[in-house]
Amino acid sequence: MLQQTQVDTVISYYERWLKKYPTLEKVAQASEDEILKLWEGLGYYARARNFHKACQKVAESHLGKVPSDPNVFSTLKGVGPYTLAAVQSIAFQNPFPAMDGNIKRIVSRLFRIDEPSSKALSHIGAFLQKNISQKNPGDFNQALMDIGAMICHPKNPKCFECPLSLDCEALQFKQTHVYPIPEEKNPRPHYRAAVGVVWKGNKLLISKRKSEGLLGGLWEFPGGKMKPGESAKDCVEREVKEEVGVDVEAIKSVGAIEHVYTHFSIEMEGFLCRYLKGKPQTLECADWKWISFPELKKFAFPTANRKLFPLLPQANPFQKNADKKLKKGNLSEEA
């Protein structure tokens, strides 16, 4: 949970997770939908999917015991160099140096490395491997992570509290503001998208994203990016047909929301749609369901979709006898 996410954000999720899944076996027995629902809002959902699959593998192939052999552990889903080093050093005292953002920043400042950390991994790794404690490698890694998190801040580091200050070249040359050298960043693209809130009787149509890729395994209202020159209405009707094979008529916009992801931002408009014909199919999605409005809170949705919930009617606005057909939703924050 702490990968790419701050401690303050993680704490409440971690506590809820341990309450529901106190053991590896409990995680392995859960469904992907259950895992993603508990993770909902934390982002980087591949972490949850990979952890789920890794727990299943450990339960099935390793008698429920996390393998201490680094070569075996590295075959588990989602285990990359950092996870391998962190778990092996902390849990099994194997001398693998962990390289998270905090540690990379420390070493970059110690030696005034004149290139971004991503291009200096061999330099950083060689230093850490040479100096890591053979007896207590987990303490070594955690100590450096703590120095980076609490003292060697990206901005305004507390250099005179740092146990490494006498060896820090960036401090000696008064250049802590220069190092580490920033990574080159591409401009963040912005997309316009539209989704269809498709009503049939008293049910809404939702589709599940394929596991591979961004937001994999989450549920959403069918829709997608608008083509150049395409209206939001036309986009919805086209995307719903392409994604789930259903013909709809986009009747009324409920409004647009904006959301910023790590690598891009979107403006997404929601349209109330009347179902016309066709049986839903998994054309460009992993699954689909017809659900009632209250059931929305049972499924894990991307944050952008959840921002639309308060704008939606709780009943089919196209049914003649629908009560309060344009009454806005009142789902709780946890939905």
Number of alpha helices (DSSP H) and beta strands (DSSP E) in the chain:
12, 7
Cβ-proximal residues to 188 (8 Å cutoff; 6+ apart), any chain: 260, 263, 264, 265
b/e map 176-213, b = 16+ CB within 10 Å: beebbbeeeeeeeeeebbbbbbbbbeebbbbbbbeeee
44 — alpha (psi -120 to 50), left (phi > 0) or beta?
A: left
Is the pLDDT assigned to residue 330 strictly greater than 70?
Answer: no
Residues 246 and 171 sit within 8 Å (Cβ to Cβ) = no
Using a pLDDT cut of 70, give the percent of the chain over it. 95
Burial class of 124 by CB neighbour count within 10 A (0 to 12, 13 to 18, 19+): buried
pLDDT of residue 261: 84
Domains of the chain: 7-172 (1.10.340.30), 191-311 (3.90.79.10)
pLDDT score of 212: 82
* Cis amide leading into 67 (omega within 30): no
Q: Which two tokens stand for residue 252?
A: 């009324």
Position 2 scores a pLDDT of: 87
Task: Determine contact, residues 109/176, Cβ cutoff 8 Å.
Answer: yes
State the chain's mean pLDDT as an integer: 92
Extract the tokens encoding 152.
């060697």
Band (pLDDT 50/70/90 cuts) for residue 211 is confident
Tokens standing for residue 14:
């971690």
pLDDT computed for residue 332 by the predictor: 40
3-state secondary structure of 261: coil
Q: Is the pLDDT of residue 321 over 60?
A: no
Whether 225 contacts 191, CB under 8 Å: yes
* pLDDT tens per residue across span 62-99: 999 999 999 999 999 999 999 999 999 999 999 999 99
Kindly report the pTM of this predicted structure.
0.83
Return left, alpha or beta for 213; rule: phi > 0 is left, psi -120 to 50 is alpha, else beta: left
Cα 318 to Cα 204, 219, 276, 322: the distances in Å are: 12, 24, 12, 8
Mean pLDDT along residues 267-279: 96
Q: What is the percentage of the chain residues whose pLDDT exceeds 90? A: 87
Rounded Cα distance, 56 and 43, in Å:
22
**Nearest alpha carbon to residue 43 among 176, 214, 187, 157:** 214
Say what angle helices 32-39 and 7-20 make with each other, to 10 degrees. Answer: 140
Residue 320 — pLDDT band, cuts 50, 70, 90?
A: low
Mean per-residue pLDDT for 288-301? Answer: 95
Nearest to 266 by CA among 167, 194, 168: 194
Please tell me what DSSP assigns to residue 281: -
Q: Are 325 and 315 in contact (CB under 8 A)?
A: yes
Q: Tell me which of 88-92, 115-119, 141-145, 329-333 is least confident.
A: 329-333
Rounded distance between C-alpha atoms, residue 245 and residue 121, angstroms:
47
pLDDT beyond 70 at 143: yes
Work out the average pLDDT over 26-52: 94
Q: Which range among 42-56, 193-207, 269-283, 307-321 shows the weakest confidence by mean pLDDT?
A: 307-321
- DSSP assignment of 144-212, as one string? HHHHHHHTS-SSS--GGG-TTGGG-HHHHTT-TTT-SPPPP-PPPPEEEEEEEEEEETTEEEEEE--SS
pLDDT tens track for 50-64: 999 999 999 999 999
Tell me which residue of 110, 99, 101, 106 sits closest to 141, measured CA to CA: 99
The phi and psi torsions of 296 (rounded to 5 degrees) equal -55, -35
